[in-house]
Amino acid sequence: MAVGVTIMVHSFRVTVDQWIGESIKADLFIAPSTNLVAGALEPLDPQAEMIALATPGIRAVGSYREIRLFLDGQPAKLAACKLDVLRVYNPLTFLSKIAEDPYELCRTGDYAIVSENFARRRRLKSGDMISLPTPGGLRPLK
């Protein structure tokens, strides 16, 4: 039993180390102070990005926005980020391989990248359609 627990603890530690290495890449995280009170609703002033990029030693500035919503009656999080920065500094691991570049498909077309949990809960596979609610109505995405 001790061997089983040791293996389990080691496996968990490796998984946590991998998760931290894949998800926390920045040396500095900034946000508007209003987000402390109202939640992460306010965008960062675009000048903050320009100032950061002009700072010696800064290689890239990425942004991340997230909202909670309901898709087909189920709770979900919708996140948006700079795909070019994500690709270089925090590349995603894709479960299914496709011929096209998934980052480029999202940038130029009606495509979305979904998490493994999102796909599992909704029984989705690569190429399936989802409908994203937007101010202009539902927008179908692959």
pLDDT in tens, 73-101: 889 999 888 899 989 888 888 888 888 89
Query: Full-prediction pTM beyond 0.75?
Result: no
Q: What pLDDT does residue 10 have? A: 60
Q: What pLDDT does residue 25 have? A: 66
Q: What pLDDT does residue 68 have? A: 87
CB 112 within 8 A of CB 130: yes
Q: What pLDDT does residue 27 have? A: 72
What is the chain's alpha carbon radius of gyration, rounded to the nearest angstrom?
18
Q: What pLDDT does residue 39 have? A: 64
Q: What pLDDT does residue 47 have? A: 92
Handedness of CA 50, 46, 79, 133 (dihedral sign): negative
Residues of the chain predicted below pLDDT 70: 1-26, 38-41
Angle at 130 between CA 92 and CA 87, to 5 degrees: 20
Q: What pLDDT does residue 24 have? A: 58
